[in-house]
Amino acid sequence: MYHHVKKLMYTVRVDDPDPRFGNMLLEQFGGANGELAAAMQYSIQGLNCDDPARKDMLMDIGTEELSHLEIVGTLARMHLKPMKTDRTAAEADPLVAIAGGGGATLCNSMGNPWTADYLKITGELDVDLRSNIAAEARAKIVYERLINFCDDTGTKDALQFLMTREITHMKAFLLALESLGKPALSVGLIPPTPGLVDQYFNDSTGESDEGDTDATGPWNEGNGWERVDAPAFQELRPLEVNGNGHGTRKSRPKMERKAKTRK
């Protein structure tokens, strides 16, 4: 059950309306990383969640995102208001001015309508929580960029509040994921193919005039990795199982490259 309280979660003030910035704000109203998408994603995940505790968290945060939508919508409306009467202001976004009457509308900053395709819902709690962490990170960056493009003090204060809550939600989702006690790379029920799962395919090779020098790091060496250089030039052999039951897919040595001759 929802109940609308006639008070914003964060009181907004706009001293200097800017229709062009109001158009930018629509990205967080009806865009892919916006508040409506977050509210729908978390709430529907919550409806589908069989875990009572995490369901409660998802519904809490999903409901708060509706409050954030109200804040962003109010900010956008205040910045877009000059479009209602001023021709020059209306030219900043004719679609919003003429079709939307100079008010908030469920589209992004380019005028594309909101779509449920923005939502990431799998029905697997740990997978959904990972999606939510990423969603909050993307939204935080969008708010950061909006702040950098804003000159109005009251608007920046509200955006700072919204940006901060993205980090709060990211923290909640991260701790909820950790509380499940699942290994970090455990996804679903079917285990990956032994050996193959630990192979790093070095698919961008070449040096000097053939490309940048290959980089190494914890993502492709140590930590149980077997690095396979230029797999496109190799024929991967069948999986070989060693004495401890683990599989290793061996590959043929890398093809020798002939030196280039310049005319």
Three-state secondary structure along 16-64?
A: CCCHHHHHHHCHHHHCCCCHHHHHHHHHHHHHHCCCHHHHHHHHHHHHH
Phi-psi category of residue 101: left, alpha or beta, with phi > 0 → left and psi -120 to 50 → alpha? left
Domains of the chain: which residue ranges? 19-179, 196-251
- Residue 241: is its pLDDT beyond 70? no
Q: Give me the phi and psi of 251, to 5 degrees please.
A: -130, 155
96 three-state secondary structure: helix
Give CA–CA dist 79/73, Å, rounded.
Answer: 10
pLDDT of residue 11: 95
Query: Which has more pLDDT, 235 or 251?
Result: 235
pLDDT tens digit sequence for 19-46? 999 999 999 999 999 999 999 999 999 9
pLDDT tens digit sequence for 108-159? 999 999 999 999 999 999 999 999 999 999 999 999 999 999 999 999 999 9
Q: Quick check: 236 and 249 in contact, CB under 8 A?
A: yes
Q: Residue 239: which residues within 8 A CB-CB, separation 6 or more? A: 193, 194, 195, 196, 247, 248, 249
Helix (H) or strand (E) holding 199: strand 199-202
**Domain covering 19-179 in this structure, CATH number:** 1.20.1260.10
For the residues 212-235, what does the mean pLDDT come to?
86
Mean of per-residue pLDDT scores for the chain: 88
Query: Which has more pLDDT, 147 or 227?
Result: 147
Q: Quick check: 106 and 87 in contact, CB under 8 A?
A: no
Query: Which has more pLDDT, 184 or 259?
Result: 184
pLDDT of residue 246: 52
At position 49, the amino acid (one-letter code) is: C
pLDDT of residue 95: 85
pLDDT of residue 239: 54
